[in-house]
Amino acid sequence: MSLHTQEPWRVRELVKGGVQVIENGEPFAIAIVSLPSLDAGKAGSIPMEGVNHIANAKRIAACVNSCAGVSTEALEKMPGSFDDLLSLEFKDVVGQRDALLAMVEQIAEAEFGFDAWPTEEEVRALITAVKRGAV
Q: List pLDDT tens digits, range 37-85.
A: 555 556 555 555 656 777 888 888 998 998 888 888 888 877 777 677 6
Q: What type of residue sits at position 94?
A: V
Task: Report the candidate in 61, 52, 47 with the shortest Cα–Cα distance to residue 17.
Answer: 52
- Say if CB 65 and CB 9 are below 8 A apart: yes
Amino acid at residue number 35? L
pLDDT score for 74 = 80
pLDDT value for 120:
79
Mean pLDDT of 107-134: 71
Question: Percent of the chain scored above 90 by pLDDT?
Answer: 3
In terms of C-beta density within 10 A (0-12 exposed, 13-18 middle, 19 or more buried), how is residue 29 classed? middle
pLDDT attached to residue 43: 57
The larger pLDDT score, comparing residue 100 to residue 44, is at: 100
Q: How many CB atoms lie within 10 A of CB 53?
A: 20
In tens, the pLDDT along 12-21 reads: 877 775 677 8
128 vs 79, more confident: 128
Q: Which residue would you say has higher pLDDT here, 57 or 34?
A: 57
